[in-house]
């Protein structure tokens, strides 16, 4: 292909897949979000989860909520919630920017984030969850970026890099983070080629700045500067920067080994 037509094709593809969706979402977000400061935002429970005693089975849940202010144009914050069978309380794990970055139970398990209501990304419950919980706890303990200063909002390691790391320890859960979980594709440069967190495909990531993922659970995703565009064949959908996943809204795979529920598309 001659140089100029190739350049025009590349420019059009970039505009169609990245720049245009992001600009449209930015316009909508800035016109609707209240853009509250940290101290003014609502961090209370959104009442998504019942009381722990009312849900006796074990569970592993992954949640996401839009981040605050201008960052909400691009990104969700994600976290992990677990509960052993018969336990009277949930345990929540997040990574944040201050102090020792990996936090345990700093907020209610289903708390709003900057006032934004969380959505359930994926879940495993019952006997399958009982088998996963020790793996989740072990992954949190061995997470290699949990020291003071081990946080970078972009390209990572950040909150979503942490969640992706833990999901990589439980690939049988079959949970894929939303495309707006900016930082989920961050990898150390020595780990630029790896399996996807679900172990159903291959991922190439150059420091989370540019990359490509192809997997049955994750779908096809192109990462450019932390923004993700792609498609999902397993549950037909397109993935767009800013908007997130747009497509099939419903339950994912069910097998005897896992129980995965996706309640809504993120965006």
Angle of helix 159-168 relative to helix 127-142, nearest 10 degrees, comes to 130
Q: What is the pLDDT of residues 12-62, one digit of tens each?
A: 666 678 989 999 999 999 999 887 888 899 999 999 999 999 999 999 999
Judge whether residue 228 has pLDDT over 80.
yes
Judge whether residue 220 has pLDDT over 80.
yes
Instruction: Give pLDDT, residue 164.
Output: 97
Judge whether residue 7 has pLDDT over 80.
no
Instruction: Say which residues have a Cβ less than 8 Å from residue 155's Cβ, sequence separation at least 6.
Output: 183, 186, 207, 208, 209, 225, 226
Strand partners, 65: 77
How far CA 106 is from CA of 13, 91, 111, in Å, comes to: 42, 10, 10
Instruction: Give pLDDT, residue 265.
Output: 31
Instruction: Give pLDDT, residue 59.
Output: 98
Mean pLDDT for the stretch of residues 104-114: 98
pTM: 0.89
% of the chain surpassing 70 pLDDT: 88
Provide the strand spans (E) within 96-252: 102-104, 119-125, 193-195, 201-206, 210-215, 219-224, 227-232, 237-240, 244-247
Residue 199 and residue 229: Cα distance in Å, rounded?
A: 20
Q: How does the average pLDDT of the chain come out, rounded?
A: 89
Q: What DSSP state is assigned to residue 50? A: P
Token output for 77: 């914050």
Instruction: Give pLDDT, residue 13.
Output: 67
Instruction: Give pLDDT, residue 256.
Output: 31
Q: What is the pLDDT of residues 176-188, one digit of tens each?
A: 999 999 999 999 8
Instruction: Give pLDDT, residue 264.
Output: 32
Judge whether residue 245 has pLDDT over 50.
yes
Instruction: Give pLDDT, residue 10.
Output: 59
């Amino acid at each position: 292909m001659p140089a100029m037509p190739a350049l025009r094709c590349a420019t059009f593809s970039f505009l169609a897949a990245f720049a245009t969706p992001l600009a449209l979402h930015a316009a909508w977000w800035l016109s609707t979000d209240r853009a509250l400061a940290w101290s003014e935002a609502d961090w209370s429970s959104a009442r998504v989860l019942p009381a722990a005693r009312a849900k006796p089975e074990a569970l592993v849940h992954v949640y996401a909520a839009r981040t605050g202010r201008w960052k909400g144009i691009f990104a969700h914050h994600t976290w992990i919630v677990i509960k052993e069978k018969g336990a009277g309380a949930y345990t929540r794990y997040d990574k944040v920017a201050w102090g020792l970055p990996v936090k345990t139970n700093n907020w209610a398990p289903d708390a709003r984030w900057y006032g934004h209501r969380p959505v359930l990304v994926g879940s495993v419950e019952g006997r399958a969850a009982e088998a996963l919980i020790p793996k989740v706890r072990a992954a949190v303990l061995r997470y290699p970026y949990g020291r003071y200063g081990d946080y970078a909002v972009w390209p990572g390691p950040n909150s979503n890099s942490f969640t992706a790391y833990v999901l990589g320890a439980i690939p049988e859960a079959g949970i894929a983070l939303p495309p707006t979980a900016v930082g989920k594709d961050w990898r150390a440069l020595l780990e630029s080629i790896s399996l996807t967190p679900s172990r159903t495909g291959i991922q190439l990531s150059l420091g989370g700045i540019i990359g490509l993922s192809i997997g049955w659970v994750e779908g096809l995703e192109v990462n450019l500067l932390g923004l993700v565009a792609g498609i999902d064949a397993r549950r037909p959908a397109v993935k767009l920067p800013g908007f997130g996943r747009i497509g099939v809204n419903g339950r994912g795979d069910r097998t005897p080994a896992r129980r995965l529920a996706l309640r809504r598309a993120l965006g």
